[in-house]
Amino acid sequence: MSARVKTAILISGRGSNMQALVAAAAERDYPAEIVGVVSDRPEAGGLAVAAAHGIATAALPRGDFPSRDAHEAAIDLVLRDWGAEIVCLAGYMRMLSAGFVERRLGRVINIHPSLLPLFKGLDTHSRALEAGVSLHGCTVHFVTAGMDEGPIIGQAAVPVSPSDTPDTLASRVLHAEHQLYGRVLRWVAEGRVTLENGRAVHTGFTADDSAALIAPTPGIDPAHLENLARFTP
Ligand code: GAR
């Protein structure tokens, strides 16, 4: 088996997407290896979970550093120490500078809880409900300097039910996030998706891969499918 691509994860909170990536990487023949988890918040629940899996962790609070550059330099040093080639942002709630991103362009990916370019930023589920969309979901994209911008690699759609609250919608989207992120990291680690001229370019897609981009069915409650059927002409 060829060497697995060393991958680090940046988190700020509970780290459920991080856990999904750790679980994916534990699969046989998975092309990426999780070498470490960094958090800007020492109290982030995900750090203890990562440590319990025997994964290296680093807590680097922004307040411990005089500037954003100094903070990012410390993160960069840790990533280099681990030999991380790919960086996955998994609920890392801090903007990375253009310099940091450009040094690792095409090798930093982020998951966001909406179908971008809709609903960048925070409170995506409340905003989706307010907007009255019937499809919501999540996106994994290459990270560029703008917030929740950058070429889209993969998306998972989730139907919205009229009875949804921000919390019910969030939990359904989170389930889709957990399925999507592991698949997308696989593609990036295998070099089957690359960042070229500002676009995510896919090669060697299988029918299974493309189905995952539309709607990962295991996450869909049959009640929501029935609900969607009512809208079918
Ligand atoms: C996830 O829903 C992720 O998509 C979101 O934060 C949550 C983190 O949860 N990220 C963003 O909003 C980034 N713009 P987790 O810590 O359980 O993975």
Ligand 1 probe mutation, 16, 138, 158, most atoms within 8 A of CB: 16
pLDDT of residue 204: 77
Query: Could you list the residue range(s) of the whole structural domain that residue 228 is in?
Result: 111-233
pLDDT of residue 126: 98
Low-confidence ranges of the chain (pLDDT < 70): 1-2, 207-233
Q: Do 86 and 188 share a structural domain?
A: no
Q: Answer whether residue 183 is part of any domain.
A: yes
> Distance between CA 208 and CA 205 in Å, rounded?
8
Contact present, 43 and 52 (Cβ < 8 Å):
no
pLDDT of residue 211: 53
pLDDT of residue 146: 87
Q: Answer whether residue 105 is part of any domain.
A: no
Please report, for the domain that includes residue 43, its CATH number.
3.40.50.170
Give, using CA atoms, the residue closest to atom 1 of ligand 1.
91
pLDDT of residue 206: 72
Write down the residue that tokens 């019910």 correspond to: 168
pTM of the model: 0.90
pLDDT of residue 218: 46
pLDDT of residue 1: 47
Give, using CA atoms, the residue closest to atom 6 of ligand 1.
91
Q: Do 75 and 5 share a structural domain?
A: yes
pLDDT of residue 212: 55
Cα atoms in the 13 Å half-sphere on the side-chain side of 190: 18
